[in-house]
Amino acid sequence: MKIDAFCHVLPEAYAQRFFSIADSPALKNLQERTGGIPALRDMDIRFRAMDEFGDYKQIINLTTPPIEDLGDAKRNAEMARIANDGLAQLVQDHPDRFVGFCAAVSLDDVDTALEEVDRAINDLGAVGVQIPCHIKGAPMDVARLDPFYEKMAQSGKMIQVHPNRTSAWADYPTEERSKFELWWALGWEHDLSTFMARIVFSGVFERFPEIKFLMHHGGAGIPHFAGRIGPGLDQLGARTPESQKEDVKGYPLTKRPIDYFKMFYSDTALFGAADAMQTSIGFFGVDHMLFASDTPYDPEGGAGYTRATIANLESLDLDDTQREAIYHGNVVKLLGLDA
């Protein structure tokens, strides 16, 4: 059995509303991009791609952009409800294909988001919630989000974290926008890595030790820079002048920084990079790795990344028990799935 823990869809009612938004120029490119991937909406196409992998099921979530980017807080909250109703219906209609969904929430308004979390989990059966790495460029370690993190920690459900910068984040301060899609190829991994670091140093794990974050793309750069995360950040403050010491005063931590980074869960959505996958498994440990493909954003629009991810896992020096844990055992245990 393989349970793909990070897959994107566009529920039909949500898709219709999404593609009708005409007052946001920033959305136009994403509307064109997602409109060119039929497997996001057409379940017949999606299921034909899934059939290649035998006993294979998915945990689904909403595709980009983040809910918070769709408009004002009122619209975004409404779009989250529409999305979650659609995600829940897909799981209900196709239990042989989808074992659960991670809900959309708009964190523009935390109180409204908390209500939607309750509705999604308690009424619709969500197994988690998906959030972005930043909200309109604002960080995710601010105090106003603590009630959200506290609720998710108490729920025992998973927080999926997805990167979300755009070309507006220039490669250099002297430029107006990023070139060569580096905002995606490199910038998204910086998004994820920075999110993790800010969560660690703001003390989210200290305050809510039961919280479960699933970091996309193998934990991004963190496993590959373990020396800087470990011995490097053990020297936090040594490189900072006295006039900037406030910048390195985080929440009081009781462990080494690297120990908190290892508390994150990570996935295998690395687009066929076996060496990177091995490094991620080595850093987080087999018990904190979940099989995921990022379907259907491969060049084929459906099966390519899933096929490559399976091939990578089969090529690594893992025993059958370890491989089965990554394929399905860890996510079943983490979320209490009936699978």
Lowest mean pLDDT among 89-93, 130-134, 329-333, 335-339: 335-339
Q: Is 249 in a helix, a strand, or coil?
A: coil
pLDDT band at 280 (very low <50, low <70, confident <90, very high): very high
pLDDT tens by residue, 94-106: 999 999 999 999 9
The pair of structure tokens assigned to 114 is 């908390």
pLDDT band at 121 (very low <50, low <70, confident <90, very high): very high
- Please give the average per-residue pLDDT across 33-37, as a whole number: 91
Taking the C-alpha atoms of residue 273 and residue 27, their distance in angstroms, rounded to an integer, is 30
Taking the C-alpha atoms of residue 192 and residue 28, their distance in angstroms, rounded to an integer, is 24
pLDDT tens by residue, 213-234: 999 999 999 999 999 999 999 9
| pLDDT at 33 exceeding the cut of 80 | yes
Give me the CATH number covering residue 212: 3.20.20.140
pLDDT band at 25 (very low <50, low <70, confident <90, very high): confident
**Domains contained in the chain, number:** 1
- Mean pLDDT across the chain, nearest whole number? 96
H/E stretch holding 25 reads helix 25-35
- Please give the average per-residue pLDDT across 63-84, as a whole number: 95
Cβ distance 6 to 293 under 8 Å? yes
Q: Residue 216 belongs to what domain range?
A: 2-335
Share of the chain above pLDDT 70, in %: 100
pLDDT tens by residue, 8-23: 999 999 999 999 999 8
Residue ranges of E strands in the chain: 2-9, 56-62, 98-104, 128-132, 158-162, 212-215, 265-267, 289-290
The pair of structure tokens assigned to 63 is 């595709």
pLDDT tens by residue, 139-194: 999 999 999 999 999 999 999 999 999 999 999 999 999 999 999 999 999 999 99
| pLDDT at 29 exceeding the cut of 90 | no
The closest of 209, 228, 181, 251 to 33, measured between CA atoms, is 181
Residue 123 φ then ψ, to 5°: -100, -35
DSSP letters spanning 57-119 = EEEEEEPSSPGGGSSSHHHHHHHHHHHHHHHHHHHHH-TTTEEEEEEE--TTSHHHHHHHHHI
pTM of the full structure: 0.97
